[in-house]
Amino acid sequence: MCVEKLDTLVGSILSFDTTPYPLDRMIFEQIGVFLKSKGFEYSAPAEIHRVITPHSLNELYTFLYAYMDTEAFLKVYRAFIETAVLKYCGVGHLYQRKPGIRIHLPGAMTVNYHTDEWYGHGASVTNFWMALTPAFDTNTLHVVGVQDSLRLVDQFTRSKADLTEMNRQSKAHAKPVEICFGEIFVFNAKCVHGSETNLTSSTRISIDFRVLAEHEDPGNKDTEEYYLKPGRPTDVTQKQAIRPLEYVGAAYFYPRYAFTRHLRAHYQRAICKEFARKMKMKIVAEETEVHTMVHHPNLLHLASGKSVSPINSVSIFSVACLPLDAQDRKRIYTAARDPGTTLFFANEQLDIKLSGAKKFLAGDGIRLSVNVWHSRRCAVSSRSVRVDRCDTNSVMCQSAK
Ligand SMILES: [Fe+2]
């Protein structure tokens, strides 16, 4: 995929023909509708600070985001991206399903200097930023170039700088993005960027969206929910309807061992269910454990594929919900093996398919010899599970897709 091509765009300003994509006018009309509903006079979008207060600005954001969720807006947005923007990026990219909108009023400062990578966006995510009203001087976004950003971030980390110091140093290196509607500024998740107090007499309104090369790390965003592939169905529920469910299962949560003690059952349940949704699992039952029995009879029952109705999977909150005793765990794996029940671990985003253990041994997937939980502490990353103390009941895990 074309990560390299995206990188070549960073720092540049792209142009597009505004006629087929009147996103500015569409947003301005809605601002007019909102202001009228509030009994305000509306003259020009860059003048809305004359009537908008910080409180009504929040209401305006809600109003605009609701509009930007309509098919009327998204149809133009999608055509714009797929025709006018992605031609600069090459093939094999996903784009943000719905853009963000920012309104920077005179006298206000919108955001501290930061990189998007700091807040969980994937390192190779590329940002596209376009002004709907003229963006200039202190009313616009200020961005530091990639090399200076890398050096600054390294310096911030080593010196343990506070936000005030980070803002001060970033400001010294940042340049204002001065563009009008019809232009798009490109930067990426490693670029330091932020805003200054708007000392102009002009409100800036801008929209932004992200582009990601397919199969690159989306960071903390859910690829399917946050990004859209060009030409694909746009509605998440419609997409799910097209791709059938792969699992019917139970949610299993147990706030007893290790860190799970600090996460109430209803939060664990919510995480199990969210993970199940991503795994295309229909939850037909939910269960916690018999608190007075250490061998986890309820999990044993579920692993056997038994519940109020037949199941082929269990969305377990964490590996820390397994029994402490190795023999008890082995009994659960054995129970899961014959019916082929897949045991998912939502918190660690792992699955254990004992029936396919041989495949994993010989396969090309990520293979982990996981001696399952027998500890009060566990370090987990997206691709590995480490435990402090191992036992002899090694099973194979594979990172959940
Ligand atoms: Fe940002």
Instruction: List the CATH number of the domain containing 269.
Output: 3.40.50.1390
**What per-residue confidence (pLDDT) applies to 374?**
32
- Residues 143 and 114: their CA atoms lie apart, in Å, by 10
- Residues 373 and 377: their CA atoms lie apart, in Å, by 9
- Determine the distance separating the centroid of ligand 1 and the alpha carbon of 246, expressed in angstroms: 36
- Determine the distance separating the centroid of ligand 1 and the alpha carbon of 7, expressed in angstroms: 17
Residues with CB under 5 A from ligand 1 (ion): 116
Judge if 251 and 215 occupy the same domain.
no
- Determine the distance separating the centroid of ligand 1 and the alpha carbon of 127, expressed in angstroms: 9
Judge if 141 and 30 occupy the same domain.
yes
**What per-residue confidence (pLDDT) applies to 280?**
84
Phi–psi pair at 30, nearest 5 degrees: -70, -35
**Which of 234, 259, 281 marks a domain boundary?**
234
- Determine the distance separating the centroid of ligand 1 and the alpha carbon of 187, expressed in angstroms: 10
**What per-residue confidence (pLDDT) applies to 235?**
57
Judge if 229 and 94 occupy the same domain.
yes
Judge if 113 and 261 occupy the same domain.
no
**What per-residue confidence (pLDDT) applies to 2?**
54
- Determine the distance separating the centroid of ligand 1 and the alpha carbon of 201, expressed in angstroms: 24
Distances (CA, A) of 389 to 321, 350, 361: 16, 19, 22
Q: Does 136 map to a domain?
A: yes
Query: Tokens for 231?
Result: 């030409």
Residues forming beta bridges with residue 205, ordered by sequence position = 103
- Residues 139 and 71: their CA atoms lie apart, in Å, by 30
Q: Does 182 map to a domain?
A: yes
Judge if 299 and 224 occupy the same domain.
no
Domain extent at residue 187 = 3-234
- Determine the distance separating the centroid of ligand 1 and the alpha carbon of 147, expressed in angstroms: 17
**Which of 189, 207, 234 marks a domain boundary?**
234
- Determine the distance separating the centroid of ligand 1 and the alpha carbon of 52, expressed in angstroms: 24
**Which of 168, 200, 234 marks a domain boundary?**
234
Judge if 169 and 128 occupy the same domain.
yes
Judge if 298 and 212 occupy the same domain.
no
- Determine the distance separating the centroid of ligand 1 and the alpha carbon of 130, expressed in angstroms: 14
Q: Does 127 map to a domain?
A: yes
- Determine the distance separating the centroid of ligand 1 and the alpha carbon of 47, expressed in angstroms: 25
Model confidence pTM above 0.85: no
Phi–psi pair at 394, nearest 5 degrees: -70, 135
Judge if 301 and 349 occupy the same domain.
yes
* Consecutive 10-residue averages of pLDDT for the chain (401 residues): 76 95 96 93 90 86 93 95 92 93 90 90 93 97 96 95 94 97 96 95 96 87 87 58 70 92 94 89 90 92 87 90 86 85 83 47 31 34 35 35 35
Does residue 212 contact residue 244 with C-beta atoms inside 8 Å? Answer: no
- Determine the distance separating the centroid of ligand 1 and the alpha carbon of 190, expressed in angstroms: 10
Q: Does 239 map to a domain?
A: no
Judge if 261 and 295 occupy the same domain.
yes
Q: Does 317 map to a domain?
A: yes
Does residue 353 contact residue 388 with C-beta atoms inside 8 Å? Answer: no
- Determine the distance separating the centroid of ligand 1 and the alpha carbon of 177, expressed in angstroms: 14
**What per-residue confidence (pLDDT) applies to 352?**
61
Q: Does 110 map to a domain?
A: yes
Residues in the chain: 401
- Determine the distance separating the centroid of ligand 1 and the alpha carbon of 232, expressed in angstroms: 27
Q: How far is CA 53 from the centre of its chain?
A: 31
Phi–psi pair at 217, nearest 5 degrees: -70, 120
| Amino acid (1-letter code) at residue 109 | M
Judge if 147 and 248 occupy the same domain.
no
Q: Does 359 map to a domain?
A: yes
Judge if 254 and 395 occupy the same domain.
yes
- Determine the distance separating the centroid of ligand 1 and the alpha carbon of 192, expressed in angstroms: 8
**What per-residue confidence (pLDDT) applies to 215?**
81
Does residue 132 contact residue 103 with C-beta atoms inside 8 Å? Answer: no
Instruction: Count the domains in the chain.
Output: 2
Judge if 182 and 257 occupy the same domain.
no
Q: Does 146 map to a domain?
A: yes
